[in-house]
């Protein structure tokens, strides 16, 4: 299983690298510049994401609320938001112009990026697992699962 996950992540990274290589240095720089400027679509995408998530939650609220994977996803989303906030407000982003042209990306920026990627992989995984509710409050589960799912017996 872990081998397949590594292969998929590697394939994704190779694909992104190939696309950037095809774009050439000028094309890659345009992609970077577009990310810096932003066109405001990120805010719209965030609003659509929140609205669709709330609608999905209210489709089956009790089952979703007691789902261990839903709770894990909520915690991971908060961690991802904190990571982004620290990156943008902790000084790294303010020095972007300095390290954008540097030969080596600063270690803190690499760690923030790696942490962000790991969090989003975990968020996607836990989001996909919400549909498979293995730990249900209707059946007896170990005490730790009852605690994580918020089941009261």
**Reported confidence tier of residue 103, pLDDT bands at 50, 70, 90:** confident
**Reported confidence tier of residue 90, pLDDT bands at 50, 70, 90:** confident
Q: Report the distance separating Cα 91 and Cα 130, nearest Å.
A: 36
Model's pTM, two decimal places?
0.68
Q: At residue 113, does pLDDT exceed 80?
A: yes
Q: Which residue has the tokens 């995984």?
A: 125
| Residue 24 Rama label (left phi>0; alpha psi -120 to 50; beta) | left
Q: Mean pLDDT over residues 96-124, rounded?
A: 85
* pLDDT tens digits, one per residue of 19-59: 566 666 665 565 555 555 556 666 787 788 889 888 988 99
Class of residue 3 by CB neighbours under 10 A (exposed 0-12, middle 13-18, buried 19+):
exposed
Question: 131-142 in b/e burial notation, b at 16+ Cβ within 10 A?
Answer: eebebebeeebe
Q: At residue 76, does pLDDT exceed 90?
A: yes
């Amino acid at each position: 299983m872990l081998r397949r996950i590594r292969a998929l992540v590697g394939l994704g990274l190779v694909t992104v690298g190939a696309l950037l290589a095809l774009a050439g240095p000028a094309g890659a720089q345009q992609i970077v510049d577009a990310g810096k400027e932003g066109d405001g679509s990120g805010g719209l995408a965030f609003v659509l994401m929140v609205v669709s998530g709330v609608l999905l939650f209210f489709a089956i609220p009790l089952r979703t609320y007691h789902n261990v994977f839903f709770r894990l996803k909520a915690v991971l989303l908060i961690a991802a938001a904190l990571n982004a906030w620290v990156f943008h407000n902790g000084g790294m982003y303010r020095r972007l112009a300095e390290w954008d042209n540097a030969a080596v990306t600063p270690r803190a920026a690499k760690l923030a990026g790696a942490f962000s990627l790991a969090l989003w992989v975990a968020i996607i995984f836990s989001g996909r697992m919400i549909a498979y509710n293995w730990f249900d409050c209707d059946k007896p589960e170990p005490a730790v699962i009852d605690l994580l799912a918020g089941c009261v017996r």
